[in-house]
Every structure is written in structure tokens, then in C-alpha cells.
């Protein structure tokens, strides 16, 4: 042991070890897990910070999404030498006009369709009862496993209802508080958006002013890449969702599906969720369409399949693929892992978070490779 310690204490040997790639990687993981352990035993210090972040998360995220959506328009106004404050006012006017057009021309139709759908709930319940009665009268023709599964489900319905009721009463108090926080957060979004549009370009110089010129340029480059990734994802995802909603509306109108606009809007909203969104979008359309006409089950599935093929083959590669370059299998893995860890919020933000982390890692790896190459060139 003494010999080993003496050998390690030699400065030359230590320097050689430090320069070894495997030693650097091992040291990184040791420090990383040590940091995780320290955070786990001092989590009480981070609880107030987490609560503070949770309180301002909604207005910051909402304003951030609107910031990246309106950023091209803001840049267009600035390109015409319009004052920044005036450009911000024009951006707000544009948002108001778009929202007003939606409320005046689209929302009344969707609202009427949703109201009609609610009025048809008794008919849907009657259809479900008739289907159940048909199943009871023909259950001998079904496999024993299917009959057992359905009977078990029906027998456990009272228990499921009791569990749902208990959970519902348990979260009512917290739900009211969350609603109040959400309303306040939504009210604050325009104020956060104003300052993002007004002072967003000052963030990078403010952060890099304490660094040397070389490091400042490196950090500016990283922040520009992160900004590009977020911009591409947010603008691209919403644009893709819009086109998917249009394709679904056209398909639903062709087959004469009732409540076509409501289902298309629902598909547009759920398509924002990576990977799982398209499957969630088609469920209510399949239920209502199947009651209207059993053949609609085939047509609606075909419409969703065609819309997703057009989106994955033509729209997404041109809108987001050039910047994000994420493999579909990677997206599925990230979304499922994030969903198991953080639930719906994890599913919603998994892909942009992964894209940002990936961008940071690639940037520092490229910086490391460049610095090593510069050192080797200097030795030559």
C-alpha cells in the first residue's frame, strides 16, 4: 500500500493520469454521483427553491412559448427599422387579432359541436348498454379468456368508482388552489412576454460580461445554439400540429363525421405531445364515429395514418428535422422514460429538454476536441 501511495504521489505520474481519457471520464462520474448524493442529503435546502420555481413556471413557460412564436414577427418589424417598443405593440395587436378571429369565426362552431356532443351522451350510453346486452346474449361464442376479463372488469366497477370518488374528494382543496395559481399565472404571461421581447437580446451579453473574451464567445455560441433548438422545436411543433389539424379536418369532412371541427381541434392540441399525441387525438373520434357508423372506425384510422405519414415524411423533416435531428426511436424512449418519472409534464417537456441537453453536451465535446487539436498544432 505504501509503495502504491508513493507511486501515485509522484507529480509526473499524476500528470500522466490526469491526461488519460479514461481517468477524466472516471473522475467526471465520481464527481457527478457525489454531487447527486450531496443534493439528496440536503434536499431541504432546495424545497423553497422548487416551490418558487413552481410558482413562476406557468407564466415563464407560457411567455417563452409566445416569445418564440412571435420572435420571427418581431424580427420582421425590426428589419423595417421600427422602434422596439412599437414593434412589441404591433406584436400584441397581431396576437389580439388572431385570438379575436378564432373567437368570432371558429370557436362558436366548435362550441356548438361540443354542446351537441354532450347532448348525444344519452344516446352513446344507450349504444353502450345495447352493446353490453348483445355481448351478454352472445358470450358463448367468445373465448373463455375474453369473457373472464370482461366479467372481472364489470365486477370491479364499484371498487373503481369508490377509488375515483375518494381521490376526487381528496384533491378538491388542492385543485382550487391550483386553479387560482393558474389564473394568476395566465394573467402574468403578457407582462413576462413584454420584457422578454424588450430585453431578451440583452441576456447573452449580461451573462458573458464576466468571462474572458474567448470564453465569452464560446458561451455566446452555446446560447445561440440553445436558442435555435428551442425556437425550432416550439415553432415547428405548433406548425406541425396546425397542419395535422387541417389534414384531420379535411379527412373528417370527407367521410361526413359528426363534430369534425371539434375533433380536428382536439387533434391539433394533442399533437403537441410527442409520440403519444396522435393516439390520444383519435380516441374520441373513433368512439363517436363508431357509434355513427361502424365503418368510420376504418376510415378514421386510415385518416389518422395518412395524416401522420404526411407529417412524418414531409412536414416534420422540413420544419424541425434540420435542427433537432432526433431519431424517432430516441423520441419514443425519452418520452416514455420522462412519463414514468414526471408524468404528463415530463411527457410534454421531455423532447425539448433532451434536445437542449444534447446540444450542450455536443457543444462542449466539440470545444474539447478543438482545444486538444489546437494544443497538438501548437506542439508541432
The pLDDT tens digits for 139-163 are: 555 565 555 665 665 555 556 555 5
CA distances from 280 to 28, 162, 266 (A): 41, 26, 9
Give the Cα separation of 189 and 175 in Å (integer).
Answer: 21
Q: What is the mean pLDDT of residues 96-116?
A: 88
Instruction: Evaluate whether 311 touches 240 at the Cβ level (below 8 Å).
Output: yes
Confidence band of 90 (pLDDT split at 50, 70, 90): very high
Task: Check residue 97 and give its pLDDT.
Answer: 94
Task: Check residue 131 and give its pLDDT.
Answer: 66
Q: What is the mean pLDDT of residues 33-38?
A: 78
Give the Cα separation of 286 and 300 in Å (integer).
Answer: 7
Residues 6+ apart with CB under 8 A from 59: 185, 186, 188, 189, 191, 192
Assess whether pLDDT exceeds 80 at residue 347: no
Assess whether pLDDT exceeds 60 at residue 275: yes
Query: Percentage of residues in the chain with pLDDT exceeding 70?
Result: 69
Q: What is the mean pLDDT of residues 275-296?
A: 80
Task: Check residue 179 and give its pLDDT.
Answer: 63
pLDDT tens column, 161-206: 555 555 544 444 444 556 666 677 788 889 989 988 888 888 888 8
How high is the mean pLDDT of the chain?
Answer: 76
Give the Cα separation of 324 and 233 in Å (integer).
Answer: 8
Instruction: Evaluate whether 300 touches 331 at the Cβ level (below 8 Å).
Output: no
Task: Check residue 5 and give its pLDDT.
Answer: 44
Give the Cα separation of 22 and 13 in Å (integer).
Answer: 15
Task: Check residue 127 and give its pLDDT.
Answer: 67
CA distances from 57 to 62, 179, 191, 269 (A): 8, 14, 14, 20
pTM exceeds cut of 0.85? no
Instruction: Evaluate whether 268 touches 249 at the Cβ level (below 8 Å).
Output: no
Amino acid at each position: 500500500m505504501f509503495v502504491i501511495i508513493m507511486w501515485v504521489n509522484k507529480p509526473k505520474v499524476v500528470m500522466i493520469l490526469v491526461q488519460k481519457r479514461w481517468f477524466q471520464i472516471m473522475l467526471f462520474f465520481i464527481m457527478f454521483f457525489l454531487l447527486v448524493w450531496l443534493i439528496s442529503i440536503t434536499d431541504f435546502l432546495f424545497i423553497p427553491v422548487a416551490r418558487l420555481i413552481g410558482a413562476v413556471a406557468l407564466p415563464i413557460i407560457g411567455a417563452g412559448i409566445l416569445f418564440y412564436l412571435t420572435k420571427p414577427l418581431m424580427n420582421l418589424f425590426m428589419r423595417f427599422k421600427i422602434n422596439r417598443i412599437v414593434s412589441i405593440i404591433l406584436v400584441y395587436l397581431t396576437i389580439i387579432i388572431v385570438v379575436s378571429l378564432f373567437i368570432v369565426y371558429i370557436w362558436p362552431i366548435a362550441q356548438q359541436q361540443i354542446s351537441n356532443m354532450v347532448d348525444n351522451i344519452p344516446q352513446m350510453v344507450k349504444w353502450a348498454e345495447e352493446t353490453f346486452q348483445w355481448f351478454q346474449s352472445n358470450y358463448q361464442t367468445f373465448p373463455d379468456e375474453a369473457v373472464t376479463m370482461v366479467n372481472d372488469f364489470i365486477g370491479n366497477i364499484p371498487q373503481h368508482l369508490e377509488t375515483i370518488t375518494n381521490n376526487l374528494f381528496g384533491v378538491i382543496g388542492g385543485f382550487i388552489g391550483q386553479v387560482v395559481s393558474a389564473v394568476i399565472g395566465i394573467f402574468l404571461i403578457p407582462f413576462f412576454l413584454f420584457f422578454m421581447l424588450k430585453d431578451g437580446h440583452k441576456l447573452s451579453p449580461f451573462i458573458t460580461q464576466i468571462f474572458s473574451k474567448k470564453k465569452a464567445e464560446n458561451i455566446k455560441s452555446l446560447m445561440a445554439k440553445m436558442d435555435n433548438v428551442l425556437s425550432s422545436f416550439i415553432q415547428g411543433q405548433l406548425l406541425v400540429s396546425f397542419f395535422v389539424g387541417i389534414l384531420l379536418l379535411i379527412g373528417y369532412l370527407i367521410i361526413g363525421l359528426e363534430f369534425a371541427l371539434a375533433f380536428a381541434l382536439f387533434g391539433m392540441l394533442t399533437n403537441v405531445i410527442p409520440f403519444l399525441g396522435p393516439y390520444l387525438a383519435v380516441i374520441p373520434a373513433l368512439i363517436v364515429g363508431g357509434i355513427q357508423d361502424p365503418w368510420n372506425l376504418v376510415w378514421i384510422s386510415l385518416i389518422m395514418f395518412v395524416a401522420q405519414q404526411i407529417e412524418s415524411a414531409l412536414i416534420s423533416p422540413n420544419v424541425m428535422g434540420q435542427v433537432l435531428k432526433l431519431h424517432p426511436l430516441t423520441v419514443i424512449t425519452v418520452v416514455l422514460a420522462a412519463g414514468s418519472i414526471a408524468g404528463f409534464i415530463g411527457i410534454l417537456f421531455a423532447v425539448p429538454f433532451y434536445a437542449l441537453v444534447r446540444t450542450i453536451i455536443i457543444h462542449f465535446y466539440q470545444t474539447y476536441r478543438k482545444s486538444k487539436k489546437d494544443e497538438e498544432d501548437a506542439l508541432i
